[in-house]
A and B are shown apart, each in its own frame.
Chain A
Amino acid sequence: MLKKDLGLLILILVVSATVAFINPRFLLPINLSNTMNLIGLYGIFSIGVGLVIITGGIELSVGSMFALLGVIFVDLLSTYEINWALASLIIVIAGLILGALHGFLVTRMGLQPFIVTLCGLLIYRGIARFYTEDATAGFPFGVTYPALQWLTTGRTLGIPHSFVAFIIIAVVMGIVLHRSVFGRYLFAVGKNEEAARYSGIRTKRVISSAYIICGGLAGLAALFLTLYTRSISPATHGNFYELYAIAAAVLGGCSLRGGEGSMLGIVLGTILLQVLQNLVNLLGIPSSLNFAVIGAVILFGVLADQQIARYGGITQFFRRKTVPQAMPEKQG
């Protein structure tokens, strides 16, 4: 475990303990279970966005993808009455395709990731609203999908299945990111794309893969979110969710310059964000202040992290030692 992750974990524990102390309802099983559910929902796509960020890119369109894929999913199930498993598969594949499209535009067309995914954000949202003529898409009254609902919104021993899915994905992607050849390539490309290319890495493929994985996870998250809300207003469904994902990744130690980050960090970042959301609710802070509180915490966290890093780690920070001199770049 990296020091950064440890610091994050301590922060989560401190915030949780404080909330629990002020409002013991925080520890009620139902509250914990609901928070876990939210952690799972947000975590699944945050992992994908985190991978893209590690390659030095950015993914801004996941929130709009949830609206677009969500209304399609609802339509597939209720209007076309397609088998839920097949419909789910179609949605995940649609997510993969959108991711592949982003990867193609970024690596083959040489567009900036910010622009590509910003356009995605606008386009998908627009299509979703057009598709339903801005009406809310929902499942027909009284119709249920027991197996699908159990898988996505069900709970086992009080643990929401979204959270279980999140943990499974996090473990798998953690191994991929930190142990596999592909994961090493992701970091290498993010650190220095040119040097990676000079080492024979197919950098375009690696970067595209990150967008594809992100798209796939966004498709999966779209299923969970659709079943969680059960109805989708295409104008607002998933609004700002991409920012939660970016925030979680950054809090978890991913650098927007690429090449840095860890799966544990992304997981802890997601948890911290949801605990903060919960804090706002439980401490009676006006919910209109929600974003302000989260923004302030992220700003403070990143600032503190940077200051500590500048003073050479936590121990140095407290010992007030001087910074060790950097080696000269060039001599002679």
Chain B
Amino acid sequence: MADPFLELIDISKSYPGVIALKGVTLSVAPGEVIGLVGENGAGKSTLMRILGGVAAPDHGVLRIDGAERAAMTIDAAGKAGIAFVHQELNLFDNLDVAANVFIGREPRKAPPLRLLDTEAMRQRTAPLLKKLGADFTPASPVADLSLAQRQLVEIAKALSFDARLVILDEPTSSLTVTETNRLLKIIADLKATGVSVIFISHRLQEVERCADRVIVLRDGRKVGELTGAEIQHEAMIRLMIGRDLKSLYIPPKAPPGAEALALSDLRTSAFPDKTVDLTVREGEILGLAGLVGSGRTEVARVVFGIDKQTGGEIRLKGEPVRIAEPREAIARGIFLVPEDRKQFGLLLDVSISQNISLPDLASYAKAWLIKPAQEDANAERQKRSLNIKTPNVGVLAGALSGGNQQKVVLAKWLSMKPRIIIFDEPTRGVDVGAKQEIYELMRALSDSGVAILMISSDMEEVIGVSDRIAVMHEGRISGLLERSRFSEDNVLRLAVGRPLN
């Protein structure tokens, strides 16, 4: 194989309280496909941020075409031919494909007006799309494209920069099997033309199929490098987790009780022609697995009264209820810990104390005047019992780390009387230590009789924490697994709509 054109040598990076990377070395040769795997929080994103010039390493050097530098800049990364295709696609869906490819460097017509040269843009985009085998034209509005097609636009954009290295971050997480196959084919084509690819994915089968070399990160360190025939599913998992998946599991103290929440023929606006049937019992943690976009969050939103229920029935302890707004759900003891806590869970520039009291403000007030002392006293109690790491409860919620923010969201609900708590991606962006604490809290809650529905895309979490797993596929429950049948394979099969073995 040719000499590497890009090297990262002994890179370390730490954030307050967290060592994100420790002595990681990575080299990229032309035409090489590198798989980068690791659990959430293993340091993959930090490594990519350093490579893209968004973050500077604390220690170590980068070498591009033999020239050493202490840190990358966004400009230098572009010049070096490094292109990113992010998990959250950065496209303008009000523009057409060509305009997106050339955003910020649009070809112009002659002076003096120098108007946009739409024709030139489209002509130069067309061969890129052809190369990728796209089934849309440069003039197609991005708004009309599917997720997979949008991804191709991103890749076309990367190629238009004459990229030497394309970094794909979780590119297949929301693709269908056919679309995934086509993407893998495109990766092979890129490789054939000498373009290198870094493929970051949790889908180990796909890594197995396309990578020449796999780098495994765990807790910020490079724990292994596999090449050729060594690249195998089992080997990667062993390196990634370095421990048994089931060690997370805390068994419940008692068998589950009566039915707490039952959904029958529930319809959501996202999948109007599909229905959901699901039962959560008191004292159990029911995991709700599935691919991104399979309709899990939509179910949570309907149960919590954010979205309109378009059909079917919600029963609480057997009794049918209508929930028109979150206030009614909260009054019935149904609480939601939302996926995007910065947008929905918290008021970031409001104090911890006032965040916690917000859903139940009347309890801290006399004659509608709030007693701040009572708010603070309760917040202090929650701070101690949930181990929220903050000097005092007057600190703004936005200043906390992800894990502590999540605890504040939880504290809001634990200050009231929960009966059913829906956790949507409870540990996204939460560091490892706080993760375990959150799992313990969830178990303590379920042991006290609360029914817990946990939506999670983190395989380790779903398998490690749940008592049962329901899997969603395109708007309906495709299967229900008891603990004895828990396996990554079974969950994935149901998630992509295939039958179990």
Closest B-chain residue to A204, C-beta based? B325
- Residues in B whose Cβ lies below 8 Å from that of A330: 45, 402, 429
Query: Is residue A180 contacting chain B, with contact meaning CB distance below 8 A?
Result: yes
Give the residues in chain B near A195, CB-CB below 8 Å.
Answer: 343-347
Please, which residues of chain A bring their CB within 8 A of the CB of B15?
A: 327-328, 331
Q: Is the CB of B45 within 8 A of A197?
A: no
A201 at the interface (CB under 8 A from B): yes
Stretch at the interface among A34-42, A66-74, A88-96, A186-194: A186-194
Q: Does A202 count as interface, using CB distance less than 8 angstroms?
A: yes
**Which residue in chain A gives the minimum CB-CB distance to B349?**
A191
Contacts of B361 in A (CB 8 A): 181, 184-185
Within 8 Å CB of B370, what residues of A? 179-181, 184
Q: Are A199 and B354 in contact (CB under 8 A)?
A: no
Across-interface contacts of A13 in B (CB, < 8 A): none
Q: Which residues of B contact A146 (CB under 8 A)?
A: none
Q: Does B431 reach chain A (CB closer than 8 Å)?
A: yes
Is A200 on the interface with B (CB-CB < 8 A)?
Answer: yes
Partner of A199, one of B343, B349, B412: B412
A interface footprint on B334-350 (CB within 8 Å = 1, 0 otherwise) = 00101000011111111
B84 to chain A, nearest CB (A): 16
B369 partner residues in chain A, CB cutoff 8 A: 175, 179-181
**Residue from A180, A188, A202, A331 having most chain B Cβ neighbours under 10 A:** A331
B39 closest partner in A (C-beta) = A332
Indicate if the CB atoms of B338 and A188 lie closer than 8 Å: no
Q: Are B347 and A188 in contact (CB under 8 A)?
A: yes
A191-B325 Cα distance, complex, nearest whole Å: 20
Q: CB-CB contacts of A196-213 with B at 8 A, as 1s and 0s? A: 111111100000000000
What are the interface flags for A304-332 relative to B under an 8 Å C-beta threshold, 1 for contact and 0 otherwise?
A: 00000000000000000000000110111
Query: B362 — which chain A residues lie within 8 A by C-beta?
Result: 181
Question: Which of A182, A195, A201, A202 counts the most chain B CB atoms within 10 A?
Answer: A195
B311 CB within 8 Å of chain A: no
- With contacts A195-B347, A332-B18 taken as known, whether A201 is within 8 angstroms of B358 at the C-beta atoms is yes
Contact status A199-B358, CB under 8 Å: yes
Say whether A194 contacts B343, CB under 8 Å. Answer: yes
A202 lies within 8 A of B327 (CB): yes
CA distance A179 to B370 in the complex (A): 6
| CA distance in complex: A83, B18 (Å) | 73
Contact (Cβ within 8 A) A181 B365: yes
A195 to B358, CA, bound (A): 10
Contacts of A188 in B (CB 8 A): 347, 350, 358
Chain A 131-174: CB-based contact to B (< 8 A → 1; otherwise 0): 00000000000000000000000000000000000000000000
Q: Which of A230-260 contact B (CB under 8 A)?
A: 259
Instruction: With both chains docked as a complex, state the minimum distance between the C-beta of A187 and any C-beta of chain B, in angstroms.
Output: 8
Contacts of A180 on B, CB cut-off 8 Å? 365, 368-370
Our pick among B41, B347, B350, B359 for the contact of A200 (Cβ within 8 Å) is B359
Q: A182 contacts which chain B residues (CB < 8 A)? A: 368
Binding site for B on A (CB under 8 A): 175, 179-182, 184-185, 187-188, 191-192, 194-202, 259, 327-328, 330-332
Where the two chains meet, the residues of B that have a C-beta atom closer than 8 Å to any C-beta of A are 15-16, 18, 20, 40-46, 220, 304, 306, 325-327, 329-331, 336, 338, 343-350, 354, 358-359, 361-362, 365, 368-370, 399, 401-402, 412, 429, 431
Sample of 22 A–B contacts (CB below 8 Å): A175-B369, A181-B362, A181-B365, A185-B361, A187-B350, A188-B358, A191-B347, A191-B350, A196-B347, A198-B304, A199-B330, A199-B412, A200-B326, A200-B329, A201-B327, A330-B45, A331-B15, A331-B41, A331-B401, A332-B20, A332-B42, A332-B46
| Known contacts A191-B349, A192-B343, A332-B46, then 18 further A-B pairs from the complex at CB < 8 Å, ordered by chain A residue | A175-B369, A181-B370, A195-B345, A195-B347, A198-B306, A198-B326, A198-B336, A199-B330, A199-B358, A199-B359, A201-B358, A202-B325, A259-B349, A330-B429, A331-B15, A332-B18, A332-B220, A332-B431
